[in-house]
Amino acid sequence: MEKRAFVNSDGDFLIIAQQGNLDIQTEFGNLYVQPGEICVIQRGQRFKVAVEGPTRGYILEVWGSHFELPELGPLGSNGLANARDFLYPKANYTVTRDDPWEIVYKLGGRFFKSTQNHCPFDVVAWHGNYAPYKYDLTKFVNVGSISVDHIDPSIFCVLTAASRDANAPLADFLIFSPRWDVASHTYRPPYYHRNAASELMGLIYGEYAGRSDEFQPGGVSFECGWVPHGVAYEEFKAASAQPPPQMQISKGAVAFMFESCRQLTITDWAWNSDKKHEHEPKMWDNLVDNFSEHLDEINEILGKKTL
């Protein structure tokens, strides 16, 4: 149905185009979003989407908050996602009469509809800062260590949505895109860890190291909070044995992560999908206790220490 618009009365949408282009008409004007770009449509804004062939992507919805740029802190005024690279629509109105339209509202997770006899996209001009926008992820300015050690993945944050707890964002949107990895004397792959945040990863295009071959563009990978995770032991062993090279990683690929202090649930549709890929738990059985191999040496060193 072409003459139908949608309104999210619950929260803000962050939309990631993964396959197919999105021609989005809003009350403020048009946004043309291609794979590798994102757009944000805030709560209460009317919009409709026209697609060109098979289309898919990802949507992150937040309630009670809005997406904003993260604080840059010691980085200063430039870096990560620069404000100048976000694009807003220009007013593009359509005034009609005796033109039946259907408006679909999402409110409290339920859907309602109403009708009107004119086009809803009839805003002649607008000003202010509560407007939809889009961003090209290839414009992201990556920041990382140029000496040793890892920087927390939050350094790849494009947009964040605050929660009531100043120390725990409601949601972060991070990306992993082409960049140089040059840290010396550093184990390069993601180390084994567990953290409070729920992590949902997706792949827009290319290949992403650190996930299985089953992690394909358009798919997702999920780790709930407090669950240990990391790379397979073979990758850990190889990375530990070789001096780390200076190399470009994520070449030709863009992956992303939704990170939240809230717990996430999985829909029945996804849980029962025949496309679900589950890791065999036995893949972790070959993990080795490398620390204990050096226990005598460690005890000798500790025995020489005095308070």
Return binding residues for Fe cation.
Answer: 193, 199, 229
Please report, in range form, the residues annotated as the binding site: 193, 199, 208, 229
The active-site residue, picked from 150, 185, 277, 294, is 150
127 noted as active-site residue: no
Q: Tokens for 298, please give them.
A: 């460690």
Distance, CA of 127 to CA of 140 (rounded, Å): 26
Binding site per annotation, positions for homogentisate:
208, 229
d(CA 223, CA 200): 6
Residues acting as catalytic residues: 150
